[in-house]
Protein backbone atom coordinates (compact mmCIF):
# COMPACT_ATOMS: atom_id res chain seq x y z
CA UNK A 1 0.00 0.00 0.00
CA UNK A 2 1.56 3.29 -1.06
CA UNK A 3 0.67 6.71 0.30
CA UNK A 4 -0.61 7.94 -3.06
CA UNK A 5 -3.48 5.46 -2.82
CA UNK A 6 -5.04 7.75 -0.21
CA UNK A 7 -6.21 4.81 1.91
CA UNK A 8 -7.85 5.55 5.24
CA UNK A 9 -5.66 2.88 6.81
CA UNK A 10 -6.16 1.23 10.18
CA UNK A 11 -7.21 4.53 11.75
CA UNK A 12 -10.12 4.83 9.33
CA UNK A 13 -10.98 1.16 9.56
CA UNK A 14 -11.06 1.32 13.36
CA UNK A 15 -13.10 4.53 13.56
CA UNK A 16 -16.50 3.39 14.90
CA UNK A 17 -18.23 6.79 14.98
CA UNK A 18 -19.41 7.34 11.42
CA UNK A 19 -21.50 4.38 10.32
CA UNK A 20 -23.76 3.34 13.17
CA UNK A 21 -23.91 0.32 15.46
CA UNK A 22 -22.97 -2.09 12.65
CA UNK A 23 -19.55 -0.50 12.36
CA UNK A 24 -19.18 -0.59 16.16
CA UNK A 25 -19.97 -4.32 16.07
CA UNK A 26 -17.42 -4.74 13.28
CA UNK A 27 -14.72 -3.11 15.39
CA UNK A 28 -15.63 -5.03 18.55
CA UNK A 29 -15.59 -8.26 16.55
CA UNK A 30 -12.07 -7.54 15.29
CA UNK A 31 -10.79 -6.49 18.71
CA UNK A 32 -12.37 -9.43 20.53
CA UNK A 33 -11.04 -11.81 17.88
CA UNK A 34 -7.50 -10.51 18.33
CA UNK A 35 -7.94 -10.54 22.11
CA UNK A 36 -9.13 -14.14 22.11
CA UNK A 37 -6.24 -15.14 19.85
CA UNK A 38 -3.81 -13.56 22.32
CA UNK A 39 -5.60 -15.31 25.19
CA UNK A 40 -5.39 -18.62 23.32
CA UNK A 41 -1.62 -18.29 22.99
CA UNK A 42 -1.32 -17.25 26.65
CA UNK A 43 -3.57 -20.13 27.66
CA UNK A 44 -1.31 -22.65 25.89
CA UNK A 45 1.65 -21.18 27.73
CA UNK A 46 -0.27 -21.27 31.01
CA UNK A 47 -1.29 -24.90 30.69
CA UNK A 48 2.22 -25.89 29.62
CA UNK A 49 3.23 -25.15 33.23
CA UNK A 50 1.76 -28.52 34.15
CA UNK A 51 5.10 -29.88 32.96
CA UNK A 52 6.68 -28.18 36.01
CA UNK A 53 4.64 -30.40 38.28
CA UNK A 54 2.05 -29.58 40.95
CA UNK A 55 4.09 -26.77 42.52
CA UNK A 56 4.81 -25.02 39.23
CA UNK A 57 1.19 -25.31 38.17
CA UNK A 58 -0.10 -23.87 41.45
CA UNK A 59 2.42 -21.02 41.31
CA UNK A 60 1.32 -19.93 37.87
CA UNK A 61 -2.36 -20.34 38.67
CA UNK A 62 -1.97 -17.89 41.54
CA UNK A 63 -1.48 -15.15 38.95
CA UNK A 64 -5.16 -15.46 38.04
CA UNK A 65 -6.19 -15.17 41.67
CA UNK A 66 -5.13 -11.53 41.92
CA UNK A 67 -7.29 -8.46 41.29
CA UNK A 68 -5.57 -7.89 37.96
CA UNK A 69 -6.03 -11.55 37.07
CA UNK A 70 -9.74 -11.38 37.83
CA UNK A 71 -10.17 -8.26 35.70
CA UNK A 72 -8.24 -9.92 32.88
CA UNK A 73 -10.44 -13.00 33.02
CA UNK A 74 -13.55 -10.80 33.12
CA UNK A 75 -12.45 -9.11 29.89
CA UNK A 76 -11.83 -12.54 28.36
CA UNK A 77 -15.36 -13.60 29.33
CA UNK A 78 -16.79 -10.47 27.70
CA UNK A 79 -14.78 -10.97 24.52
CA UNK A 80 -15.75 -14.62 24.36
CA UNK A 81 -19.48 -14.01 24.76
CA UNK A 82 -19.59 -11.06 22.36
CA UNK A 83 -17.52 -12.84 19.72
CA UNK A 84 -19.72 -15.94 19.95
CA UNK A 85 -23.12 -14.22 19.80
CA UNK A 86 -22.12 -11.65 17.20
CA UNK A 87 -20.29 -14.38 15.28
CA UNK A 88 -23.53 -16.36 14.95
CA UNK A 89 -25.23 -13.21 13.61
CA UNK A 90 -22.44 -12.53 11.13
CA UNK A 91 -22.30 -16.15 9.97
CA UNK A 92 -26.03 -16.18 9.31
CA UNK A 93 -25.68 -12.91 7.45
CA UNK A 94 -22.81 -14.28 5.40
CA UNK A 95 -25.09 -17.05 4.23
CA UNK A 96 -27.68 -14.49 3.17
CA UNK A 97 -29.94 -15.22 6.15
CA UNK A 98 -31.79 -12.21 7.58
CA UNK A 99 -30.31 -9.66 5.18
CA UNK A 100 -33.62 -8.85 3.52
CA UNK A 101 -34.89 -9.51 0.04
CA UNK A 102 -33.95 -7.63 -3.11
CA UNK A 103 -36.62 -5.26 -4.37
CA UNK A 104 -37.20 -1.84 -5.85
CA UNK A 105 -35.80 0.62 -3.29
CA UNK A 106 -37.79 3.66 -2.21
CA UNK A 107 -36.33 6.96 -1.07
CA UNK A 108 -34.73 7.54 1.46
CA UNK A 109 -33.27 4.13 0.68
CA UNK A 110 -32.89 2.63 4.12
CA UNK A 111 -30.72 -0.43 3.46
CA UNK A 112 -32.65 -3.64 4.07
CA UNK A 113 -29.49 -5.48 5.11
CA UNK A 114 -29.11 -3.17 8.11
CA UNK A 115 -32.46 -4.27 9.50
CA UNK A 116 -33.80 -4.57 13.02
CA UNK A 117 -32.98 -8.29 13.23
CA UNK A 118 -29.28 -7.57 12.91
CA UNK A 119 -29.48 -4.58 15.22
CA UNK A 120 -31.18 -6.78 17.84
CA UNK A 121 -28.43 -9.34 17.32
CA UNK A 122 -25.73 -6.74 17.91
CA UNK A 123 -27.35 -5.24 21.00
CA UNK A 124 -28.02 -8.75 22.33
CA UNK A 125 -24.35 -9.62 21.94
CA UNK A 126 -23.33 -6.48 23.83
CA UNK A 127 -25.89 -6.99 26.62
CA UNK A 128 -25.09 -10.69 27.03
CA UNK A 129 -21.35 -9.91 27.12
CA UNK A 130 -21.94 -7.27 29.79
CA UNK A 131 -24.15 -9.63 31.81
CA UNK A 132 -21.57 -12.42 31.59
CA UNK A 133 -18.84 -10.04 32.70
CA UNK A 134 -20.91 -8.90 35.68
CA UNK A 135 -21.60 -12.52 36.62
CA UNK A 136 -17.89 -13.29 36.29
CA UNK A 137 -17.00 -10.33 38.50
CA UNK A 138 -19.56 -11.42 41.09
CA UNK A 139 -18.17 -14.95 41.18
CA UNK A 140 -14.50 -13.93 41.28
CA UNK A 141 -14.79 -11.01 43.69
CA UNK A 142 -17.79 -12.26 45.61
CA UNK A 143 -15.93 -14.76 47.75
Partner 1 sequence: MAQVSSIAEEQTSTPISSSKSITLRIAKYNPKHDESSQFMEFSVPYEKWTTVLEAILEVKKHFDHSIAVRYSCRQATCGSCGMMINGKPKLACFTKISELNSNVITVEPMSNFPIIRDLAVKFEKLFDSHHKIKPYIIRDDSELESDEREFLQSPKEVEQYIQFANCIKCGLCNSACPTMATDSSFVGPQALAQAYRYVADSRDKGKDTRLKIIDESHGIWRCHFAGSCSQVCPKGVDPAMGIQLLRGYLLGFRS
Q: Which residues bind partner 1 (CB under 8 A)?
A: 1, 4-10, 12-13, 18-20, 22-23, 25-26, 29-30, 90, 93-97, 99-100, 102-107, 109, 111-114, 118
Under a CB-based contact definition with an 8 Å cutoff, are residues 35 and 75 in contact?
yes
Under a CB-based contact definition with an 8 Å cutoff, are residues 118 and 98 in contact?
yes
Q: Which is nearer to partner 1, 99 or 128 (CB)?
A: 99
Q: How many helices (H) and strands (E) does the chain have?
A: 5, 0
Q: Which is nearer to partner 1, 47 or 115 (CB)?
A: 115
Instruction: In angstroms, give the least distance from the CB of 97 to partner 1.
Output: 7
Q: Which is nearer to partner 1, 30 or 52 (CB)?
A: 30
99 Cβ contact list (under 8 Å, min separation 6): 93, 112, 113, 115, 118
Amino acid sequence: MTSDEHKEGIRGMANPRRYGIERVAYLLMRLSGLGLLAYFVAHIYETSNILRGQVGWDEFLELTQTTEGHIFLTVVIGMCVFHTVNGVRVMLGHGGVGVGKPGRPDYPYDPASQNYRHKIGIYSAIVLAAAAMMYGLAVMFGE
